[in-house]
Structure formats: C-alpha cells, structure tokens
Structure 1
Amino acid sequence: MSELKDYRKQGKAARDQCPRSAHAEPGHIDRDPLPLIEASGAGRVKSLVALRNGRMLVSPFAFYRGSALLQAHDLAGTPNMGVSAPICGDCHLMNFGGFATPERNLLFGVNDFDETHPGPWEWDLKRLVASFMVAARDLRHSEGVAQAVCREVVGAYQKTMAEHAEQGALEIWYDRLSYDDLLEQANTQSAVKEVQRSMDKAARRTHAELLPKISERDEHGRLHIRDDLPEIFHLHERSSLLDKDDDWMRLKHWQPLYQTLMRDYRNTLQADRRELLSRFHVHDLVFKVVGVGSVGTRCLVALLTDDQAQPLFLQFKEARRSVLADYLKVKSRPRHEGQRVVEGQRLMQSASDLFLGWTKGSDGRHFYVRQLRDMKISAELETFDSSIFEAYGRVCGRALARAHAKASGRAAEISGYIGKSDSLADALLEYAQVYAEQNERDFERFQQACRKGRLEARSEADFVADHLP
C-alpha cells in the first residue's frame, strides 16, 4: 500500500511542473494548415488523394478525422506530466467501437492503431475530448450538450483510472469492457435499445454474411470480389484507380504480390494460427479504399475459403510512419511500421484479432494484417439523441483509461496527477472549445484551397462517372 501511495504522490507532484490548468493551452496553432495537409498526402496513391480531400470536405468533423497530422503538430506545443507510454495517436470518437475476441465475445474499445506510438497519455485524451466537441457542433447539439459530453468523457476517464490505480497488474490486464457491461450501464430506454441494436448488428457482421454481398462467381465458376468504385477495385483491370506508373501496375497479376505478403506474414502468427490459416486457399485480391484519413494509403483485401467453401477475408493495410513520430523525442521500438501497429494494438486492447500480424511487400512498404469486418461496428452518431451521445462519451472515456492503464502500467501515477477535483475536466473543456474553433478556421482554409484549385477534391460520384461505359 505504501508503494501505491508513493506512485500517487509522484503523480500529484507532477502538477508542480505541469499544472492541470495548463492543459487548456491549444498548442502550436499559429500556423498555416495547408502545407501540413499537403505533406500528409505524400506517398499515397495520387489519384486517391483527391478522394481523401473530397471526403474531408463533407464537414468540419470529417476534416477533423482526416487531419491527425495537424493536431499532432499542435499538441507538440502543449505541456504534459511526463509519463510516456503506448498511445493510440489518433484517438477521435469514431476510432472506438465493437470488435470480436478470438473466442467470439463482443468487446468495446479503441479499434484503430495506425498512428500508435509512445507518447503522453494527455494527447489521446485531448484528441478524444476535442472530437466530441467538434462532432456535437457538427450534429447541431446545443452548447450545453457539447459541454456535458466533454465532461462525461473526462469524468469517466478519471473515475476508471482511479479504479485501476487500486488494481494489480494482472487484474488490469484481464479487464475488459463488454457489450453486456454497456447494457447494464445504459440508464435510459433509448440507450438500452442502441446497445442491443449494436449487438445484433455485430452478430450479423461475419465473413459468411459478407461473402454474397461483395463477391460472385464468374462465367467459369471462379469466385471473385465485385468491383464497387471507388471503394473496391482490382489492381490490373480497367476499373483500377492506381496511377499508370505505379509499381504495382508493373505486375501482370495479383498473385505474386499476395505471395510476397503472405510469406512474411505467416511468420508473425502463433503456430496454431498458422495451422488454421493453412486450411484456406486464396481466390482473389482487391484494393479497398477505407476511412477518411487513410484514403490513398494502400489497403488490400484477400478472399480465401476453406474446404467447406466457408470464407475468410484478410485485410492488408499499409502501415506508414506514425503522424506523431516527428513531434516526440521518444522513438518507437519496432522499426517495422506494421509491427509497431500490431504491438500497440496488443498492448492497448483487451483482446486482439485472431489473425493480427504484419508483413512487408516486395516494394518495401510495410503492412499489418487483420480480418476484414468480423463483428466490427462503429457508432452511428446521426442516430444518437443527447442522452445516448453523453453515454457514448462516458463509454469512450472509460475504454481509453482502461487502454492507457494496461499499456502503461502507471495508472496510480496518472490517477494521482488527475486527482479527485474537476480541474482537468475544466481545462480540457476549455481546450476542446478553443480547438473546435481552430478546426473550423482550418476547415475554411481547406475549403478555399479546394475551390481555388490548390488542392484537388473529388467525390465518390466523380470517380463512378469516370468509369461509366
């Protein structure tokens, strides 16, 4: 118990160097957002950068989702208490959701780790709270609701971290947030219905259910995935959106690329999972455009089946250097970016995908691998009333605290710093308000750049029209 108190004291002592009120500071916001946005497009598929810009143009919240690099730059100018641990790196509210454990249990937590990197826990919490403020304004919730949900996020984080500060390492490691837990905590009838609807939806999101939706047999009876521009396309067919000079276009077929990716990937799996994977054979490989911020990075989906014609969809997602890397002194231990993502996910999640691993393409690009879609669900914010929105904030705050406690092993120190008062919540609410306004200014600059032609922006409909017969 004395050691626990010492850790709490260490956390409390950190307030001398970094007062909790200092977290209201917005950071390095005196900058032009456009060069950073342009820099974030480097190395992506050229034709898809315009689609990424088009998706970011939809709303200030869509822009916020796609501009993690901007906030990483800004956060580098903010204070922190000095605890560095694996963090999500892109911790906005749409990067939480439901996912399946290898035992087919449905859990809730952080579910996107493309930008994971050792860093201050405060950065994740600030990006999350600001995302709720931006989304609340975007969804036309009142200022009162926006402020309340931000306080709910911080309050849940504070309470959960205090609980973990009293627990042993194994107890924290085994802790998980299930949908049954969420159902028990739902305090309104609408919240109960939303959780139950999500559980029912997740149960339907299986490989077997997906197969007839996105695949078919050709005239020779061969199983393949249907093109659905601009979301899904084959690499070497007329529908391809890859640039003509792209190195993948020099390949005559997708199979050499698939074989290269699989060779290294198998070695990152446990022996029993390699054996399971060996019972599937591949039919097709396609390019899949995903998300907002990830548009233009490379993502492939392979369709495999076993001897009973039961499907498995594997997703190979490009792992680029974390947007945090240039703004933090601490370095990521793995040199392989896919390994960085996988190890960060394993540290922060309660349980991870059965087929989670990493690999490298023949061109030297790094990828991580996981199942596509399998029981994965995300929030449908447009359906949330104010009470569900606030409840979702509480759940995200709790899930983030659990992830940070597990990954850092320093819950007592963090909890000691936060304390029992509303000091941190007050500061982060102010931060969220200021940063939401900054995001709106950046969005206006972005809109102007697209209108004037400095940045090209195209919609899904534009790409479809290009390929009409």
Structure 2
Amino acid sequence: MFSNVRPDKRKPTLAQRQHQKMAESAHAYVRGNTARFYDWLASKSVQAALPQGPSVWICGDCHTGNLGPVSDLEGNIDIQIRDLDQTVIGNPAHDLLRLGLSLAMAARSSDLPGVTTALMLEEMIGGYLIGLAGRTERVDLKEVQPIRSVLVAAKNRQWRHLAQERIEDVKPNIPLGKKFWTVTEEERSELNSLVEGDGFRQLLQTIGGKEPKRVELLDAAYWMKGCSSLGNLRFAVLMGVGSKKHPEYRLLDIKEATLTAAPSAKGAKMPKGYADRVVAGACALSPFLGERMLAATICRRPVVVRELRPQDLKFELVGLEQSEAIAIARLMAGVVGRAHGRQLSREERYAWSHELKSRHGKGLEAPRWLWSGVLDLAALHEAAYLDHCRRFAMRQRRA
C-alpha cells in the first residue's frame, strides 16, 4: 500500500497513513493528537485547577510511547524521555496530566477495569515524588514484564539489530519501499552539505570520542515514521565513519522541528530556533539523548539530527495485567520526576513536592486535579476517536 512514494505524492500518502494510525486505537489517537490535549488545557477554569509548578523544561508530549530505554555515549542504559518535539519551559503539571491520560487509555486498551486507572493515578504521584527528589526506586521487573523484556533486549542489542530493525539490512544501504522513499536532488544535496559541515563533524567527534578522519554519506531516504509528526520532513541517513575498508556505521534520524502546541511559561527564556529549542530541552530532560543531537537546517527548514543507537527502544503497552499497569505508572512517573527534578535546586524541589502533597487526599485517592483532568480528557478523546474512525471509514469507502 505504501511502497516507494515519489516526492510529489508524499503529502496525501502521509496524511492517509496518519489517519490510519490514529484509527487503530483510542490510545493511538491520544498519542497522535497533542493539539487536542492543549486545546482543552487552554481553558481558564482548567488552568485555575492545576497546581502551578516551577518553570522547567517539560516534555510537552509526555505519553507512554515517548518514554523508553536510551543509551549514553559509553553504552550505559537508562529509561528517559525519548521524544522532545514538544519540549518547552513550562508547568511540570502538564507532563503529569498528559502521562496520566496516556496511562488511562493504555489501561482501557488492555480491557482493565476502571479501578485500575484510579490505582495507577495514585501510584503516579508517589513515583513522581520519589523521582523528583532525585532517587531511583527499585522496581521488581518481574512484575512489569513489558518493561523487563524491552530492557533486556536493549542491553543485548548491537549494530546488526538496529540495522535489521530500522533498515531491514546490515549492508551499507537503505532499501527503498514501504518505510523509506526516494529523496529529491535538492534534499540529497542539502544532506551532503550537512554532513560536510563543522557542526556535524563535532557531533561525530562527541559520539566517537575522537575527530573522524573520514565521513561519508552512504545512503539517504525520506522516512515515513511517527504519527503526529507525519507530513514534516524526516530522513534516515546512513553514514560511514573512519576506514573505507572497515568503516563504523552510524544511522541518523533527521527530523523537522516545528512550532509547539505546548504552551511555555510566561517570560520563559528559550532558544528562538525550533531545532535549538528541542536540543536544549533534550539536554535538560534526557541527557543520554541530548548529547547525541544537533540542530541544523535542511531545505530552509529547522531539523534535529539524532544518532540512533541499538538500545533506543520504546515500550509497547498492550495486554497489560492490573499489577503491571500500576507498577508501570509508578515507574514512568518516576522517570518524569527525575527529569524535572534535575533542573531544580533542593529548595525548589521541596516547594514543588510540598505543593503536590498539599493537594493529595488521604487514603486511596489521586489528587482531584489529576483525576478530574484525566476523566474529562478521556471522555473528550474517546468521543473524538470514534468520530475520527467514522470519518476515516467514510474516506476509505469513497476511495
């Protein structure tokens, strides 16, 4: 259906694919529609009900698919935020609310009872507070098989696994077809200019620990990947670094940076360039990822260059058991808490923690702002998802 697509046919094909992906499940619809979340959040009554946290870099699109294992330059693995397209300096409560919505929809997609969602949101706050304090809670991975299996896979993965998964080959080329499409002459020229630039060489030096003697663009393709970002520029670039006979391969993800739907805090000082903002947010929230990223320009559009590593994976949360869902909620909230907390002083962490605790009821009760917000958002997205499916089905019938 989506074979190698000519450049002039990309837009309608990408739009069709986006509609299709968002129709796959209510959870997929939530992941692919950040704008609807922030449209709801813009209400003055909603804003008044939320706790006002310190202004820090936030993910801006903090759903379960955007958290996962990533590797640093030495090969150490940690679970961090792995997609920063929407990152801004803003209210950390926004990340908590969007994560809560995503977890609730994941529970729904796994046919778990409503009480599970209540338990998940309760555990979220506990996990977040532990992470905010800079501590890492030891989670029994036997209780969270979807997390354990991915982490085990991440530790054992090498270049051949990345190549086979991403480009379906270990040979130095990107096979055109369903996911990878032909680039234009202008795009290839721009990509060549990028890899010949000083900024790119500096990135490779940071990654490899030394200045590369030889850098060659072996192959490049337009990459149909993602959901909410479909329609923006995205390229897969295969690089050869070092000896021509025995090169080291680097696979790069080059992704267009755009205006965010996430609102920034009043008076927040952020880089003006979209790509510079993404890299700055990544360095603050996910240092393992930020050190492998570069802001650049392709075809007069801002892009973020990211080196892909075999360990960079994402969690697929389907078919969850109740105990798994609750443990995952606590674990993921802890990841977000550490990402926010590392930007704050001890006094600021204490004040934000105190604000969250002051809104927490006694016994088994998630904070009212979190529970009511997730409840409203789940109902809103469920209705919008069904309407999207209806419209998508009608388009399919006409086609």
Aligned to 1:336: 273
Q: What amino acid is the match of 1:227?
A: L
User: 3-state DSSP class of the match of 2:288?
Assistant: coil
Structure 1 residue 55: Cα displacement? 0.4
Structure 2 contact 124–333 (Cα < 8 Å) conserved? yes
Aligned to 1:370: 306
User: Is the counterpart of residue 413 in structure 1 residue 351 in structure 2?
Assistant: yes
Structure 1 contact 109–349 (Cα < 8 Å) conserved? yes
Q: Name the Cα RMSD after superposition.
A: 2.9
Structure 1 residue 290: Cα displacement? 1.7
Aligned to 1:234: 182
Structure 1 residue 123: Cα displacement? 0.8
Aligned to 1:28: none
Structure 1 residue 212: Cα displacement? 5.0
Between structure 1 and structure 2, the one with the greater Rg is 1
User: Is the counterpart of residue 359 in structure 1 residue 287 in structure 2?
Assistant: no
Alpha-carbon deviations, 1:251-276, whole Å to 9, x = none? 26x54121233327427748655844
Structure 1 contact 99–377 (Cα < 8 Å) conserved? yes
User: Is the counterpart of residue 442 in structure 1 residue 384 in structure 2?
Assistant: yes
Structure 2 contact 279–290 (Cα < 8 Å) conserved? no
Measured in 1, the distance between the counterparts of 2:297 and 2:200 equals: 11
Structure 1 residue 133: Cα displacement? 1.0
Matches within 5 A, 1:152-231: 152-161=123-132, 164=133, 172=134, 184-186=138-140, 189-191=142-144, 194-212=146-164, 214=167, 223-229=172-178, 231=179
Aligned to 1:39: none
**132 and 216 in structure 1: CA distance in 2 versus 1, 3 angstrom threshold:** closer
Measured in 2, the distance between the counterparts of 1:233 and 1:280 equals: 23
Structure 1 residue 76: Cα displacement? 1.9
Matches within 5 A, 1:289-308: 289-306=224-241, 307=243, 308=246
User: Is the counterpart of residue 63 in structure 1 residue 29 in structure 2?
Assistant: yes
User: 3-state DSSP class of the match of 2:318?
Assistant: helix
Q: What amino acid is the match of 2:28?
A: A
The one of 192, 200, 203 equivalent to 1:259 is: 192
**132 and 273 in structure 1: CA distance in 2 versus 1, 3 angstrom threshold:** closer
**345 and 277 in structure 1: CA distance in 2 versus 1, 3 angstrom threshold:** farther
Q: What amino acid is the match of 2:160?
A: A
Alpha-carbon deviations, 1:274-294, whole Å to 9, x = none? 844554422100111222212
The two structures have a TM-score, normalised by structure 1, of 0.72
Aligned to 2:372: 430
User: Is the counterpart of residue 96 in structure 1 residue 73 in structure 2?
Assistant: no
Alpha-carbon deviations, 1:395-414, whole Å to 9, x = none? 11111111111234431221
Structure 1 contact 49–296 (Cα < 8 Å) conserved? yes
Q: What amino acid is the match of 2:67?
A: F
What is the total number of aligned residue pairs between the two structures? 373
Alpha-carbon deviations, 1:99-144, whole Å to 9, x = none? 0011101101211111001111111110111111112112211111
Q: What amino acid is the match of 2:23?
A: L
Structure 1 residue runs of 5 or longer lacking an equivalent are 1-43, 165-171, 236-248, 463-469
**87 and 353 in structure 1: CA distance in 2 versus 1, 3 angstrom threshold:** closer
**130 and 234 in structure 1: CA distance in 2 versus 1, 3 angstrom threshold:** same
**354 and 124 in structure 1: CA distance in 2 versus 1, 3 angstrom threshold:** closer
Aligned to 1:395: 331
Alpha-carbon deviations, 1:369-413, whole Å to 9, x = none? 112243012212125322122111111111111111123443122
User: 3-state DSSP class of the match of 1:351?
Assistant: helix
Structure 2 contact 275–295 (Cα < 8 Å) conserved? yes
Which stretch shifts more, 272-281 or 439-448? 272-281
Structure 2 contact 110–320 (Cα < 8 Å) conserved? no
User: Is the counterpart of residue 404 in structure 1 residue 340 in structure 2?
Assistant: yes
Structure 2 contact 216–239 (Cα < 8 Å) conserved? yes
User: Is the counterpart of residue 322 in structure 1 residue 243 in structure 2?
Assistant: no
User: 3-state DSSP class of the match of 1:45?
Assistant: helix
Structure 2 residue runs of 5 or longer lacking an equivalent are 1-9
**298 and 429 in structure 1: CA distance in 2 versus 1, 3 angstrom threshold:** same
Structure 1 contact 54–457 (Cα < 8 Å) conserved? no
Q: What amino acid is the match of 2:353?
A: S
**143 and 317 in structure 1: CA distance in 2 versus 1, 3 angstrom threshold:** same
Structure 2 contact 66–83 (Cα < 8 Å) conserved? yes
Q: What amino acid is the match of 2:384?
A: D
Q: What amino acid is the match of 1:344?
A: G
